Chains A and B, each alone.
Chain A
């Protein structure tokens, strides 16, 4: 199993650093959630990812004002595409994770792993 986690450097990436990460996780560090493109999300699945997480700052606490909101919109858009091509859109998720919330990061990843295990069972 492989989970690709796109992390905003300012928040989720810091949280990831406080967490124990399962071996399945690949972290992709971004300067801001707003940098993520739909193409990246789809390419992640193409490259063999079973699940993709986009973890950014809280929407109203983004250093670049609307970077997190844009990340969320792109995730929603990519979910539509996934639906059309027959991939469970739940395999792609957006969550806000602040820099001091290691436990939340860990829980989101664990939930994703759990969900994927259930889906493949």
Chain B
């Protein structure tokens, strides 16, 4: 089959779709707006204790390798879709690539990293083949004159004068795997996120546990001993426009708690919840394990006082209504919300959005992964594969 496809987004769903399309002989342009593929999943930690907990975080490096090794997939990082037109069942897509840092020239030698005084050069994940420049930290983007990194680069990969490139590709189908946005926990003002340093999100805990071996989360030697996980932050919440369950939070929270206890057996953990979602293969086992070691309180705290330790106000259903509980670390299990880019993507690709703002596919333009609704890593990957298989079927049907 001599067809071509555009996959927007290089997270698990995008990679899954790209691999499946390429396996069927379709040329794929995999477009990623960041400097490296992998998506949110590449930041997650392996949650194995003495057993594999099937969190699928280890699938990300494997899939990144696979997609890099697939000759039919052209990976375009730092690239965005800026124009889109439909013509006789084909799509003319204008791509724009930021070329300050040319990933084809960068060999990740690390000299720019050492040269930058602001720490603006970063490697997005350990599998990134090239570095990225954080525009928020970089002096050049702040309007100052600086070329320290460019001068340090031995291969000429960094050049602030290099204009961004734009060109057109013509494809038979498009897969939008543009991902999601974790719920902004600051919106739950009373829970103190953003105000109290020891109220963190599940995502931050993931990243911290991924950086280190141990539970020194803040890098200052302090170890949390009594941790609270608050579930459904930004999920099952009509007020936040998200009356759906985000599917992933119970899973990651329970696994993260298990991992913390594995690394530091003294760690005490309490879950504040409404319902624990134990769906999915092998997960009931994780939950049973957690029940043995952790406390479960049916009730979501309404307010946290920024004292030390933190004080949680809740209805604990322990025979006495109003209660306060003390914890030295609070982890908010934030849910999955639609990406803020969805509006723009929907406009560009003329897609509809559902009542929550997630994308809905249409003829020729498919939606995969969390762009279409909450999914975990493996579900996103499978959904990407399913989407690709559907697209291939449609294409075959058209030709045959």
Q: Indicate whether A and B are direct neighbours in the complex (CB within 8 Å).
A: yes
Taking Cβ atoms with an 8 Å cutoff, the residues of A that contact B are 10-11, 14, 17-18, 57-61, 96, 98-104, 106-107
User: B58 touches which one: A17, A59, A100, A106 (CB < 8 A)?
Assistant: A100
B contact residues around A18 at 8 Å (CB) = 126-127
Alpha-carbon separation in the docked complex, A107 to B209 (Å): 14
Alpha-carbon separation in the docked complex, A18 to B17 (Å): 26
Question: What are 15 A-B contacts with C-beta separation under 8 Å?
Answer: A14-B61, A18-B126, A58-B52, A59-B52, A60-B51, A60-B52, A61-B52, A96-B48, A99-B62, A100-B45, A100-B58, A100-B210, A101-B213, A104-B213, A106-B213
B57: nearest chain-A partner, CB-CB:
A100
Closest-CB distance, A64 to chain B (whole angstroms): 14
Q: How many residues of B contact A (CB 8 A)?
A: 20
9 closest pairs, A vs B, by CB?
A58-B52, A61-B52, A18-B126, A98-B46, A107-B213, A98-B58, A103-B213, A99-B61, A60-B52
Give the A-B pair count, Cβ closer than 8 A.
50
Q: Does B270 contact A (CB under 8 A)?
A: no
Taking Cβ atoms with an 8 Å cutoff, the residues of B that contact A are 42, 44-46, 48, 51-52, 54, 57-58, 60-62, 65, 126-127, 210-213
Alpha-carbon separation in the docked complex, A11 to B62 (Å): 9
B46: nearest chain-A partner, CB-CB:
A98
Contact B60 A61 (CB under 8 A): no
Closest-CB distance, A30 to chain B (whole angstroms): 16
Alpha-carbon separation in the docked complex, A58 to B46 (Å): 10
Closest-CB distance, B280 to chain A (whole angstroms): 15
Contact A61 B213 (CB under 8 A): no
A60: nearest chain-B partner, CB-CB:
B52
Known pairs A14-B61, A18-B126; list 13 more (Cβ under 8 Å): A59-B52, A61-B48, A61-B58, A98-B46, A98-B57, A98-B58, A100-B42, A100-B210, A102-B126, A103-B210, A103-B213, A104-B213, A106-B213
Closest-CB distance, B195 to chain A (whole angstroms): 30
A58: nearest chain-B partner, CB-CB:
B52
Closest-CB distance, B108 to chain A (whole angstroms): 11
Alpha-carbon separation in the docked complex, A98 to B48 (Å): 9
Alpha-carbon separation in the docked complex, A58 to B213 (Å): 17
Contact A58 B51 (CB under 8 A): yes
Alpha-carbon separation in the docked complex, A96 to B58 (Å): 13
Contact A103 B54 (CB under 8 A): no
Alpha-carbon separation in the docked complex, A35 to B51 (Å): 21
User: B46 touches which one: A59, A100, A106 (CB < 8 A)?
Assistant: A100
Closest-CB distance, A27 to chain B (whole angstroms): 17
B65: nearest chain-A partner, CB-CB:
A14
Closest-CB distance, B159 to chain A (whole angstroms): 28
Closest-CB distance, B235 to chain A (whole angstroms): 26
Closest-CB distance, A96 to chain B (whole angstroms): 7
B contact residues around A11 at 8 Å (CB) = 58
Closest-CB distance, A85 to chain B (whole angstroms): 30
